[in-house]
Amino acid sequence: MIEVLDVTRVYQMGLVEVQALRGVRCSIQQGEFVGIMGPSGSGKSTLLHILGLLDSPTSGTVTIDGTDVGLLKEQEKSEFRLNHLGYVFQDYALVPELSVRENVVLPAMARGAPPDTYLKESEEILRQVGLGHRIDHRQYELSGGEQQRVAIARALINRPGILFADEPCANLDSNTSRTILNLFRELNEKYGQTIIMVTHEEWHEEFMCRVLYMKDGLIDGEKACKMRENKN
């Protein structure tokens, strides 16, 4: 569970202060698929980065599963991200010299997991994301959507508690976006994967349980999405 308390983030740009976040307060439960939406510049990415330990708030606290992550040192944050968090970015940033499988197992190797375990897991996860037939291919042989799915598999290899995604479909056409979102929904529904995703597109709402709307550095409102309401 994530608990966000009065988080602010101020960027100092020379003499000008930019208030990217002005006191955000929210909580996200385990197993949720939460969307963050809002106009450009409203602070969505800033909030996601702070939740994902890639940035520190100017004030306020973030607690993840009981750990006040503001107290962690840089190396501890790196470890925490490796072991507990997964990330998917707009640009896939695969290592071009590695094969699909090698990209996916990299975080597991860095963690010191035994090879036979992570090799097996990587196959399973790649099958899950629909790339079971592409295991030994290289990045240049894959389409954008396939590359993003490799990035998702890489984010999942260490079985993270929370998966963060910042506009993962921004570079994809709507059909490909749909397969990615379906994949997220499946991960969420079938395996209870907690997902926090920033997006611009209204139609993505149908895949999520809850949407937080941001405006001018604050959470301006939220809504539980129909899909999940119907289900419950």
Partner 1 sequence: MPSQHFSVALFLAIRSIQRGNRFTFFLTVMIMGLVFVNLVFLPSIISGVVVNFNSQSINYNYGNLVIEPRENEVYISGVSEVKQKISQIPGISGSSPRFSAGATYHYHDNQLSGQITGFNPRYEQEVTLIHTKMKDGDFLAEGDTDSIVLGTSLAGNIDERLDQVDSLGGVTTGDSIDVTFSNGVRRTLRVKGIIESGVYSVDRTAFITLKEIESVYGLSDTATILLVKLDGDGQEDKYKRILMEYGIAERIRTYQEKGLGFVNDAIRSFEIINAISTMVSLVIAIVVIFIVIFINTINKRRQIGILKAIGINKNIIVYSYIIQVFIIASCGILLGLLFSSGLVLYLTYKPLMFPGGAVLPVVEAGSIIRSIMSLALVSLISGFIPSWKTANEPILDAIRGN
Footprint on this chain of partner 1 (rule: CB under 8 A): 49, 52, 54-55, 75, 78-83, 85-87, 89, 91, 93-98, 102, 106-107, 109-112, 138, 154-155, 158
Measured distance CA(146)–CA(109) in Å, rounded: 22
Contact flag: residue 45 with Mg ion (CB under 5 A)? yes
Name, in order, each residue with C-beta under 8 angstroms of 3's C-beta and a sequence gap of 6 or more.
27, 61, 62, 63, 64
Residues 79-98 that bind ligand ATP (CB under 6 A): none
Measured distance CA(86)–CA(83) in Å, rounded: 8
For residues 43 and 107, which CB has a smaller minimum distance to ligand ATP in the complex?
43
Contact flag: residue 57 with ligand ATP (CB under 6 A)? no
How many CB atoms neighbour CB 232 within 10 A? 7
Contact flag: residue 188 with Mg ion (CB under 5 A)? no
Which option in Mg ion, partner 1, ligand ATP, none does residue 204 bind, with CB closer than 5 to 8 A by kind?
Answer: none
Least distance (Å) between residue 175 CB and partner 1: 25
Residues 21-40 that bind ligand ATP (CB under 6 A): 38, 40
Q: For 162-189, give the secondary structure using H, E and C.
A: EEEEECCCCCCCHHHHHHHHHHHHHHHH
Contact flag: residue 42 with ligand ATP (CB under 6 A)? yes
Burial class (CB in 10 A: 0-12, 13-18, 19+), 168: buried
Which residue ranges make up the site for ligand ATP (CB under 6 A)? 11, 13, 18, 20, 38, 40-46
